[in-house]
Amino acid sequence: MSTDTFIAPPCHQQIRILYEDAHLILIDKPSGLLSLSGKNPLNKDSVHHRLVQAFPTATMVHRLDFGTSGVMLLALKKDVNGHLTKQFQERTIVKKYVAILFGHLDDDQGTINAPLTKAQFPYQKVCVTTGKEAVSHYRVLERLQDCVTGVKTTRVLFTPHTGRTHQLRVHSLEIGHPIIGCDLYGLDIKGLGDTHSLASRLALHANSLEFNHPVTEQRMLVESPQLLTKSTLQLAQ
């Protein structure tokens, strides 16, 4: 049985509070920070570990991958957690992500429908027979080409209909345009190594989260001001 031997490097970036009230908080998670502390004591630092210092009752409603940055929602009360969890289960929460994909996508928008199942840890894979439904919508924001290396990339806005583990990463690879900076799902590039080496981090950012406030019932839209750009990702020259 495979085990997780990953040791997270120190994350010196701070968590930014985007919104808070007596019931919940929304934060801007930095890339390179775990959502929850790992079993290994060396992986103690995490979003949850940091936030409970100031918000002792904070509980996770969902998670973002280690390399993904952006909007995360945490509950401050048990009943609020339950209410928000139900919204995630019923898919009434709208999540949007900005990603930079390798190559130029032909279509300006589209839908990727590819069921996912577990592969050898920590991977997921597409499987039409045993996989669970996984649907991602995308819209092209801009097509770019590096003037030095000639590498073509496409910045897209993802709206996942489902929330499977590694869904956007696997779906991007499935259509032949992996997310640059991804250490798990990538492609070799002739003369340039691989798509992982094209960025200093995973080029995936949780741009916004839209949900119903569990107490006021007001529809809320919270956005992270950060946008993935060439300068923030330090694309290889």
Q: How far apart are CA 57 and CA 25, in angstroms?
A: 11
The per-residue DSSP string of 132-181 comes to BP-EEEEEEEEEEE-TTT--EEEEEEEEESS--TTHHHHHHHHTT-PBTT
Q: Which of 21, 28, 45, 65 is catalytic?
A: 65
- Cβ–Cβ under 8 Å, residues 140 and 108: yes
Phi-psi category of residue 70: left, alpha or beta, with phi > 0 → left and psi -120 to 50 → alpha: left
Written as one letter, the residue type at 197 is: S
For residue 196, CA distances in Å to 169, 176, 181, 188, 234 come to: 12, 14, 4, 9, 12
65 included as an active-site residue: yes
- Cβ–Cβ under 8 Å, residues 30 and 47: no
Cα-to-chain-centroid distance, residue 148: 29
Report which of 136, 59, 65 is spatially closest to residue 95, judged by C-alpha positions: 136
Q: How far apart are CA 189 and CA 86, in angstroms?
A: 42
Q: What is the dihedral of CA 65, 68, 72, 74, to 10 degrees?
A: 30
Active-site residues: which are they? 65
